Amino acid sequence: MVSVSAPGKLMIFGEHAVVYGHPCVVTAVGERVTVSVEKTDDGRVIIEAPKVKNTTFVEEAIRQAKTHWNIPDCGLRVTTDSTFSSQYGFGSSSAVTVAVLDALRRFFEKKENKKELFDLAYKTILAVQGVGSGFDAAAAVWGGTLLYKKGGVLLEALKISGQLPLIVGYTGVKADTATIVREVADKRGKFPEKMDRIFDAIGKLAADAKQKIEEGDWERAGTLMDFNQEYLRDIGVSSDKLEMLISAAKKAGAWGAKLSGAGGGDCMIALASRDKHDAIKKAMTDAGGQVLEVVNCAPGVQMDTTDDQSELFVVVDKNDTVLGYKTRGECHADKTLMHRGIGLLVFDRTGRVLLQKRSMTKDTRPGYWSTSVGGHVMKGETYEQAIAREAKEELGIDVPMKLYKKHIIRYPGETEMEALFTATHEGPFHSNTEEIDEVKFFSKEELSSAITTGTIHLTEAVLLNLQVVGFL
Ligand code: MEV
């Protein structure tokens, strides 16, 4: 059996305008849809989806997957489950579509390619509901927070560490996205110039917001949210209930607030300093809203075993004396729990260094370039055993390695005692596509220029490691 899960989404900036080709900012939420696939003997395809009212997306996804990957007719049981109500507008249909496609892809051992998976999911969604920009499928596939353009012609992961300081309020009213999108299209037919001017302004604002979010300029990002809400009011998609919650959040001190999604109901979001969250949540509840506790910047579709949060890490003091064992989830949520990590820098004979681009499904630093091999020491392992295991798992190599140095690396949310190893190897590398999007050798000049032009982003660990060995 294969089991995968995909996240829901929240639109942060740019709804409606994205349908007309402008960029939007979307974040994946911690609420997930899980799909498992197993073979049955009787040749029938059985869908067990107790929490899904309408199984059309599941059925269409199975049809699309069979055609696309040439899957022969056979007996299958496809089971879905979800941690969230489809009422909230978190995009459960897109999440279930992506999860079904990815579960079938893995079950029939088809190659991993996120863009291909996205294209297939978008095709499935359009076949079922006829309209939409596909932003929700992008969030379900890649996770994190994305700058996105319709059809995936632009896809950029925002560089943020940690969470967006968001509060989510549900109006209690279910919105019908497809109907609202069609109403907006009718309005655009009647007032093309006015509507296109508004969409254009919303698109610019979304691109601007991406930059402010990456800079951590939340106050300005909040102001942009307020502007975005004004435009959404102008196109007529807000509602009294949404306005009540938005105004309550603003009065209680939010930097900005707006509806999230098609409008007419579903959810609103407020951006606010953490110390104001309790007061804002109370104000929104008093105004008749339901506060939803959801994390954002969640990982995209992944096998349920990837980055198992219950794995036991080795917790140490600054002299590397073992203090005890804590789970991955605990260590990544508390920077006082220094734990053992490992890194390997692989060089070729000309002195170029091999870096890996972390998969978008990683729980930390998705999409960043990092050390050739990296990971954690598990309970019962030595540093040497751990790095040998990771080198085999991540790159498919078994090479002699030298311990270069042991040092402490402090990330914004976690602290590692890292043993850095070096090795020489020319490849081939069989990189693990679960964990790594790409591996590539860089000369000193290539790497410095890519960093200066901002075409790649490095993890703190690889930056430090490359400085330690004198490469940067
Ligand atoms: C709905 O959540 C967001 C819209 O922009 C529609 C879409 O992008 O598919 C209104």
Whether ligand 1 lies within 6 angstroms of the CB of 175 is answered as no
Mean pLDDT within 433-445: 88
From 29, 97, 135, give the residue whose CB has the most ligand 1 atoms within 8 Å, as the site to mutate: 135
How far is ligand 1, taken at its centre, from the CA of residue 97, in Å? 16
Whether ligand 1 lies within 6 angstroms of the CB of 16 is answered as yes
What CA–CA distance (Å, rounded) separates 269 from 48?
33
DSSP summary character for residue 458: B
Residue 305 confidence (pLDDT) above 60:
no
pLDDT tens readout for residues 76-130: 999 999 887 778 889 999 999 999 999 999 888 888 789 999 999 999 999 999 9
What confidence tier does 273 reach under pLDDT thresholds 50, 70, 90?
very high
> What pLDDT sits at residue 83?
84
How far is ligand 1, taken at its centre, from the CA of residue 368, in Å? 28
Which residue, judged by its Cα, is nearest atom 2 of ligand 1? 261
How many CB atoms neighbour CB 349 within 10 A?
8
Residue with tokens 């751990």: 386
> What pLDDT sits at residue 454?
76
Residue 55, class by beta-carbon neighbours within 10 Å (0-12 exposed, 13-18 middle, 19+ buried)?
Answer: middle
How far is ligand 1, taken at its centre, from the CA of residue 168, in Å? 17
> What pLDDT sits at residue 352?
97
How far is ligand 1, taken at its centre, from the CA of residue 232, in Å? 12
How far is ligand 1, taken at its centre, from the CA of residue 180, in Å? 9
What CA–CA distance (Å, rounded) separates 25 from 156?
10
Which residue, judged by its Cα, is nearest atom 9 of ligand 1? 132
Q: Which atom of ligand 1 is nearest to the CA of 11?
A: 2
Which residue, judged by its Cα, is nearest atom 8 of ligand 1? 133
**Shortest CA distance to 128 belongs to which of 80, 90, 177?**
177
**Shortest CA distance to 150 belongs to which of 21, 241, 51?**
21
Where are the alpha helices (H) located in 177-299, listed in sequence order? 177-190, 192-215, 218-234, 240-251, 277-286
> In whole numbers, what is the pLDDT of the chain averaged over residues?
92
pTM for the predicted model, two decimal places: 0.69
Mean pLDDT within 293-304: 87
Q: Is 259 helix (H, G, I), strand (E, B) or coil?
A: strand
Whether ligand 1 lies within 6 angstroms of the CB of 262 is answered as yes
What is the share, in percent, of the chain residues with pLDDT greater than 70? Answer: 96
Q: Which atom of ligand 1 is nearest to the CA of 181?
A: 10
- Give the count of alpha carbons within 13 A of 39, CB side only: 8
Whether ligand 1 lies within 6 angstroms of the CB of 135 is answered as yes
Residue with tokens 């849809």: 33
Contacts of 440-445 with CB under 8 Å at 24 or more apart are 440/354, 440/355, 440/357, 441/348, 441/352, 441/353, 441/354, 442/352, 442/353, 442/354, 442/355, 443/350, 443/351, 443/352, 444/351, 444/471, 444/472
> What pLDDT sits at residue 308?
61
Whether ligand 1 lies within 6 angstroms of the CB of 12 is answered as no
Highest mean pLDDT among 20-29, 156-165, 362-371: 20-29
How far is ligand 1, taken at its centre, from the CA of residue 71, in Å? 32
What CA–CA distance (Å, rounded) separates 243 from 272?
17
> What pLDDT sits at residue 363?
58
pLDDT tens readout for residues 348-393: 999 999 999 987 656 566 678 999 999 999 999 999 999 999 999 9
What CA–CA distance (Å, rounded) separates 373 from 363?
16
What confidence tier does 412 reach under pLDDT thresholds 50, 70, 90?
low
Q: Which atom of ligand 1 is nearest to the CA of 135?
A: 8
From 136, 181, 235, give the residue whose CB has the most ligand 1 atoms within 8 Å, as the site to mutate: 181
Strands 2-13 and 353-358, bridge-based pairing: unpaired
What confidence tier does 410 reach under pLDDT thresholds 50, 70, 90?
confident
- Residues acting as catalytic residues: 136
Q: Which atom of ligand 1 is nearest to the CA of 89?
A: 2
Mean pLDDT within 62-87: 91
Whether ligand 1 lies within 6 angstroms of the CB of 391 is answered as no
